[in-house]
Amino acid sequence: MLRGEITTAIRAAVMQELAEVGYGRLSIEAVARRAGVSKTAIYRRWRSKLDLVLDMVSAVAGRNLPLLDTGSLLGDLEILLHVMARALRHRLASQIIPDLLAEAARNPQIAEKLQAALDDYQQAVGRILIGRAVERGELSPDTDPRAAVDLIVGPIYWRLAIARAPLDTAEVPRMASAIVAALRVACVRPVRDEVEV
Amino acid sequence: MLRGEITTAIRAAVMQELAEVGYGRLSIEAVARRAGVSKTAIYRRWRSKLDLVLDMVSAVAGRNLPLLDTGSLLGDLEILLHVMARALRHRLASQIIPDLLAEAARNPQIAEKLQAALDDYQQAVGRILIGRAVERGELSPDTDPRAAVDLIVGPIYWRLAIARAPLDTAEVPRMASAIVAALRVACVRPVRDEVEV
DNA sequence: ACACGTCGGGACGCAACCGTATCGTCGTTG
DNA sequence: CAACGACGATACGGTTGCGTCCCGACGTGT
């Protein structure tokens, strides 16, 4: 039987290494060093670096955030933004997530895993958050969940993960209300007659 | 005198390699191989891999996009979104940009260069696009350019570079009008009394 | 108490890459 | 026309990481 403590140590070390050097430069040797463990211990548990990372992504991405129902779209959005802000402010997360997303652009296996997690997330946001708002009559039933997710998640991700500028707590309600306004306008489902450019 | 053709070949090879393996795994040897050039040729021109990439970033980021004045905020936004969509759909750009942004999270030098380029860009968008709209009376003079940029750029970047979902041309006007609605609401400058979380 | 099975540690051969030093070549200049 | 100067190609020692193999330690079950 594999010792759980060591598996845990390896997992933690992978997170640290991933944040520090990224997936591209992640080496089994460095992980083993940091975890205070032998390489064999790692190879016994995972076949390769890809396996290792994919496993961790599954574990982390598996957690589906509970979208609280505050009774209004604005309230729901504020909570969602606060949760996202909290997650993206973590040093490890804010380094690992963009790194893996970039890696996904060239690694089909990672892309698949991340896409699955992302789809789950987007579907949850779209169906639950938007769904509720539609039921309440706050949004048109025609609202395209796909486009809605872009409007909701894009700004805060850009701010915290790309521009890496601080986001004051006081700004969240303002951002939320702006998004509500945007969602009310973006109610037309995409037209399919046009040619993609 | 250094031969310009070779410098050009190296630059092209770096772009290709950057897209294919990322900054982390970028190796001078591979660049030289791809460019059909000797390593010495590269070391004569740049001191290190970092120098090489920083130089390219400066060159590319230097181009400031001309923000056409269509006479309305909506029109200006549509054009901006089309330009961004066009850029982000390029295979090289859509792989290199997220990769370098992720690398910037751990490399101060890259972060500085990218931040400078990003700031220029954001300032241009904020001052020109928002400034014009304010002059026209389309937006409140209190509009925070910082927050505005997040609302403008976030959704399309998320859609094309993160979620990597296709964006139909027909959806751009819808996204633009949604952003206009968001900007009209996001007119209050950030409050500074609150504590950052 | 003993023997077996499983684990982690360390070493090994192999490959890739780094950064440099040396060599041959070509164009230019006196 | 010859010699100089700058260039690109190649070779080299050193480092790092890969994936595997063997050995000693430990715990368990009889």
Is residue B172 scored above 60 in pLDDT? Answer: yes
Condensed to tens digits (0 to 9), the pLDDT of residues A72-89 reads 999 999 999 999 999 999
Is residue A194 scored above 50 in pLDDT? Answer: no
Q: How confident is the model at residue B84 (pLDDT cuts 50, 70, 90)?
A: very high
Element (H, E) at A52: helix A49-62
- Report B:149-188 residues touching A (Cβ under 8 A): 149-151, 153-159, 162-171, 174-175, 177-186, 188
> Domains, chain B, ranges and CATH?
4-60 (1.10.10.60), 64-185 (1.10.357.10)
DSSP-derived secondary structure for A90-142: SHHHHHHHHHHHHHHTT-HHHHHHHHHHHHHHHHHIIIIIIHHHHHHTSS-TT
Condensed to tens digits (0 to 9), the pLDDT of residues A129-174 reads 999 999 999 999 989 999 999 999 999 999 999 999 999 999 999 9
Is residue A109 scored above 60 in pLDDT? Answer: yes
CA distance A97 to A87: 10
Is residue B177 scored above 90 in pLDDT? Answer: yes
Is residue B174 scored above 80 in pLDDT? Answer: yes
Is residue B107 scored above 80 in pLDDT? Answer: yes
For chain B, how far is it from start to end, CA to CA, in angstroms?
55
A66 vs B111 pLDDT, higher one: B111
Q: In this structure, what token pair is assigned to residue A120?
A: 């789950």
How many other C-beta atoms can be found within 10 angstroms of the C-beta atom of residue A63? 8
For residue A193, CA distances in Å to A185, A190, B58, B144, B168 come to: 21, 9, 40, 37, 10
For chain A, say whether B90 makes contact (Cβ under 8 Å). no
Decide: helix, strand or coil at residue B74: helix
Is residue A93 scored above 70 in pLDDT? Answer: yes
CA distance A31 to A42: 9
Condensed to tens digits (0 to 9), the pLDDT of residues B37-78 reads 989 999 999 999 999 999 998 888 766 666 778 999 999 999
Pick the closest to residue A146 from A98, A183, A193, A197 (CA basis).
A183
Label residues B115-149 b or e (16+ Cβ within 10 Å = b). Answer: bebbeebbeebbebbbebbbeeebbbeebbbbbbb
Q: Which of B19, B147, B155 sits opposite A154 (nearest CB)?
A: B155
CA distance A92 to A114: 17
Q: In this structure, what token pair is assigned to residue B109?
A: 């030098």
Ranges of beta strands (E only) in chain A are: none
Give the mean model confidence (pLDDT) for residues B5-15.
91
For chain A, say whether B19 makes contact (Cβ under 8 Å). yes
The answer to whether residues B67 and B128 touch, using CB atoms and an 8 Å cutoff, is yes
Give the mean model confidence (pLDDT) for residues B166-184.
95
Give the mean model confidence (pLDDT) for residues B155-160.
96
Is residue A182 scored above 90 in pLDDT? Answer: yes
Give the mean model confidence (pLDDT) for residues B94-109.
95
Condensed to tens digits (0 to 9), the pLDDT of residues A6-62 reads 899 999 999 999 999 999 999 999 999 999 899 999 999 999 899 999 999 888 876
Which positions in chain A touch B78 (Cβ < 8 Å)? none
Nucleic strand D contact set for A 35-74 (CB, < 7 Å): 39-40, 43, 48-49
A71 vs A193 pLDDT, higher one: A71
Decide: helix, strand or coil at residue B24: helix
Q: What pLDDT is stored for residue B58 in this prediction? A: 87
